[in-house]
Structure 1
Amino acid sequence: MLVAAQENVPIDPALVDLYKDLHRHPELGFQEHRTSGIVAERLRALGYEVTTGIGRTGVVGLLENGTGPTALLRADMDALPVKEDTGLDYASTATATDANGKTVPVDHACGHDLHTTCLLGAAEVLANDKTSWSGTLVLVFQPAEELGAGAQALVDDGLFDRFPKPDVVLGQHVAPLPAGKIAGHAGASYAGSDSLRIRIVGKGAHGSMPQSSVDPVVIAASTVLRLQTIISREIPSTSIAVLTVGSVHAGSAANVIPGEAELQLNIRSYDEATRQHILDSVERIVRGEAATSGAPEEPTITEIERFPVVVNDADALAKTLDAFAAWLGPDKIMDPGAGAGSEDVGILATSSGAKLSYWLLGGTDPSLFTTGDMNDPALLKVPSNHSPHYAPVIDPTLGIGVTALVTAARTWLPAG
């Protein structure tokens, strides 16, 4: 039997088998049909009232146990279009068709398979011991977190009209921190993210006759350089923001000036005023560079995806982390500071009026670290989420993850 570290809570080896099975069979956002079927079947067997198909492929399990508050526990289920390169004997070789009709490799490179398994493990513990808590559990297995669309899809499909509104939203995300440690930051914890697609229209011509063209490659190049000045020259040094141009596409031959170019960029910010300033500046620069170059059409700017800032309620997070410290020991609890990664879990809290308590679950072999804190140089070397080399160590991560969710639920739904 596997045992959750620091706690005599046995974990059924079948839960390890489930994790490996989910890892072998990842599914892209809004395609989590197999995963949601497994989740629904297991919740029904435990006595939960189960609703499927919410937000397209989401699953909600409801369990009422006397009077008391309502806690929503959330796990995301989707995977990434990444080719796994971990060498594990349960590595994914799956492929899928993405939204553009392209066949892509699929990998649980962000650990959502672990999130799903942990919440199913916690669901079992809580269902089998109703004397340890009182109130209402709403377990949400969310689709399409990687698309930034899953949480909103649940809300739009009536999540908080069809089920009790929670007093608190609880959840966790596995991270490249030492397994056995838990990290949480109060306030703005994870950045808001805006991804944009920019289409620049020029006038094509033969490469030997540039005077007949309006070169979109030159416009794109000058736009990329100018965009970098938004952060370096327009945002106060006391604010934190990132602007990355991650994709530049134009043309297909060395001696042909193409008719258009495309940029894709991503913005990370922590407050609405900074975000809006950056978005306004992007539009000003993109349109200005095109106009200055004599472009025959105005460029188009299209939103690809958006994640709002994740804001942990300070009191709610402290309550949860205090319970973890009493269980694991205070030396196992860290403050990672505000992270530049993005999440859509906050939508579930803001849409319901609930407090959010969201934490990071260490999932990397502790022997790879020296100090094991946020200054450890190993943090820059170990594989991180979204890497083809990323996969959490099962023991003790799975045991800690299950027990963390159980501990949080019992903290917020105390027995009468």
Structure 2
Amino acid sequence: MAAVDEVLVALKDQLGGLRELYRDLHRHPELSMREHRTAELLEQRLSGLGYAVQRIGGTGMVGVLANGPGPVVLARADIDALPVREATGLDYASTETVQDESGPVPVMHACGHDMHAAALLGAATLMAGRRAAWSGTYVVLLQPGEEIGAGAQAMLDDGLTTKIPRPDVAVGQHVLPFEAGTIGTTPGPVLSAGDSVKVTVYGKGAHGSMPHNSVDPVVLAASIVLRLQTIVSRETPPGAFAVVTVGALNAGTKSNIIPDRATLLLNLRTYDAALRARVVASIERMVRAECEASGSPREPDIEYYDQFPLTSNDPGVNEQVTRAFVAHFGADRVHHQEPVTASEDFSRIPDAFGIPYAYWTVGGHDAAEYRAAVAAGRVAQDIPANHSPLFAPVIDPTLATMVQTQVVAALAYLAPTS
């Protein structure tokens, strides 16, 4: 029996328990870096399978299963949820809230991290149960805080690279709202780099009836918003990808008072490091120039936060994993994934080790509904996307597919070749 078939032979028997684990995780979501119940539950499961488990980065953990000589494969899943009120109507929908400074905050697994965690635990279970089929070391990494871009760095800051065997390759995956049971792979960029920017510009306050006594930061901020639009339309080469969004502009409290400052919150996405640097330089140049043109009494403050690295697949690893997917699932279920403008912090981990990686996508929406939406040209209107209060991957076949992709990708390196 081929190694993949031998390891996956027990999947059918495991699926019932994995479905219950997924429903449990979905019912009890936890916000970034607060995933205490989730971590405890997953830690108990991994330890019971014979993995050497250690907490790293607070609520993050790594389980290591050493199984003779061979490569070291690191498989990663994220575990945190979002401050979203669930509206799916599912019988296992989240009703969780947490108390924050502003009051009760609803919590929901609106991005599929519960599916990622359940699938990786399923793969870990199957790998532990069929050790005769493979050789090497399988490292299961369950990462907190992906949604705020802090979890991977927290694990690295806590000594991840010195606490586990150095991997030869890393793999990861994400559920997305396309046809359930299908898999998307691509060499090179698959998820964009993302940066949030807080810009504070300063003026001189005055009574609204005496604008000549002011340096109006509202007008200044409005000029900046308009000027920033030209970064993509006039400074980015046609065919290159960049997004610059002004998501918030806040200034003042009353209609008849000109305030002394305004704050803009920006978000930018790129697939290329050089282009990102150019966009950043353009933002700073334009902000400072508009402040000078307005007679701003002091330099603007420009602060970068929630920064996500580019996720760019190693061509060789992507090819090897894709070839294994096609062999197992068939070519009709594996497609080329166009780069996605969402962002992720997964790549910080393999980058810190200096190792290559592959990151793929798995569809999670009901196949018939998705095909009908495609035929009607209504995918954007009818298919809830990640971070929507209506986002809910169908359990079958999504969960089984994501378990299999983790196993197949790992065995592309750990299965004996002779």
The interval holding the TM-score normalised by the smaller chain is over 0.9
Distance 1:78 1:34 in 2: 11
- Residue 158 of structure 1 aligns to which amino acid in structure 2? G
Q: Does 1:284 align with 2:285?
A: yes
Secondary structure of 1:136's match? strand
Q: Does 1:154 align with 2:155?
A: yes
1:391 CA drift (Å)? 1.0
Assess if the C-alpha contact under 8 Å between 1:334 and 1:373 holds in 2: no
1:233-266 residue CA offsets vs partner (Å, 9 max, x unmatched): 1111131111011111112222222222111011
1:273-312 residue CA offsets vs partner (Å, 9 max, x unmatched): 1111111111111111112111122110111211111110
Q: Does 1:267 align with 2:268?
A: yes
Distance 1:66 1:258 in 2: 67
Q: Does 1:29 align with 2:32?
A: yes
Assess if the C-alpha contact under 8 Å between 1:79 and 1:107 holds in 2: yes
Distance 1:13 1:160 in 2: 35
Query: Which residue in the other structure is 1:396 paired with?
Result: 397
Secondary structure of 1:10's match? helix
Q: Does 1:42 align with 2:62?
A: no
1:82-128 residue CA offsets vs partner (Å, 9 max, x unmatched): 12111112111222256x66642211111001101111111111111
User: Where in structure 2 are there 5+ consecutive unaligned residues?
Assistant: 1-7
- Residue 84 of structure 1 aligns to which amino acid in structure 2? E
Distance 1:374 1:356 in 2: 35
Secondary structure of 1:55's match? coil
- Residue 60 of structure 2 aligns to which amino acid in structure 1? G
In the alignment, which of 79, 82, 90 is matched to residue 80 of structure 1?
Answer: 82
Q: Does 1:20 align with 2:23?
A: yes
1:177 CA drift (Å)? 1.1
1:198-235 residue CA offsets vs partner (Å, 9 max, x unmatched): 11122222221212221111111110000011111111
Distance 2:78 2:154 in 1: 13
Alignment of 1:77-226 (within 5 A): 77-97=79-99, 103-226=104-227
Assess if the C-alpha contact under 8 Å between 2:11 and 2:126 holds in 1: no
Distance 1:357 1:373 in 2: 28
Assess if the C-alpha contact under 8 Å between 2:373 and 2:382 holds in 1: no
Distance 1:122 1:165 in 2: 20
Distance 1:409 1:232 in 2: 43
- Residue 71 of structure 1 aligns to which amino acid in structure 2? V
User: Where in structure 1 are there 5+ consecutive unaligned residues?
Assistant: none
Distance 2:375 2:138 in 1: 33
- Residue 93 of structure 2 aligns to which amino acid in structure 1? A
Assess if the C-alpha contact under 8 Å between 1:29 and 1:145 holds in 2: yes
1:357 CA drift (Å)? 1.1
- Residue 196 of structure 2 aligns to which amino acid in structure 1? S
- Residue 340 of structure 2 aligns to which amino acid in structure 1? G
Distance 1:378 1:186 in 2: 25
- Residue 94 of structure 1 aligns to which amino acid in structure 2? E
1:380 CA drift (Å)? 5.6
Assess if the C-alpha contact under 8 Å between 2:370 and 2:383 holds in 1: no
Closer/same/farther in 2, CA of residues 374 and 165 from structure 1, 3 Å limit: farther
> Scaled by the length of structure 2, what TM-score is found?
0.94
In the alignment, which of 32, 43, 51 is matched to residue 54 of structure 2?
Answer: 51
Distance 1:374 1:358 in 2: 29
Assess if the C-alpha contact under 8 Å between 1:202 and 1:260 holds in 2: yes
Secondary structure of 1:326's match? helix
Query: Which residue in the other structure is 2:352 paired with?
Result: 351
Closer/same/farther in 2, CA of residues 338 and 151 from structure 1, 3 Å limit: same
Closer/same/farther in 2, CA of residues 10 and 400 from structure 1, 3 Å limit: farther
Assess if the C-alpha contact under 8 Å between 2:170 and 2:358 holds in 1: yes
Closer/same/farther in 2, CA of residues 308 and 375 from structure 1, 3 Å limit: farther
Closer/same/farther in 2, CA of residues 167 and 410 from structure 1, 3 Å limit: same
Aligned length: 410
Secondary structure of 1:357's match? strand
Secondary structure of 1:43's match? helix
Assess if the C-alpha contact under 8 Å between 1:287 and 1:299 holds in 2: yes
Distance 1:179 1:264 in 2: 35
Query: Which residue in the other structure is 2:256 paired with?
Result: 255
Distance 2:125 2:9 in 1: 20
1:387 CA drift (Å)? 1.0
Secondary structure of 1:319's match? helix
Question: What is the aligned-residue identity percentage?
Answer: 48
Distance 1:192 1:290 in 2: 28
Query: Which residue in the other structure is 2:366 paired with?
Result: 365
Distance 1:164 1:390 in 2: 36
Query: Which residue in the other structure is 2:341 paired with?
Result: 340
Assess if the C-alpha contact under 8 Å between 1:366 and 1:372 holds in 2: no
Distance 1:174 1:311 in 2: 17
1:10 CA drift (Å)? 3.5
Distance 1:169 1:202 in 2: 49
Assess if the C-alpha contact under 8 Å between 2:179 and 2:371 holds in 1: no
Q: Which has the higher helix share?
A: 2
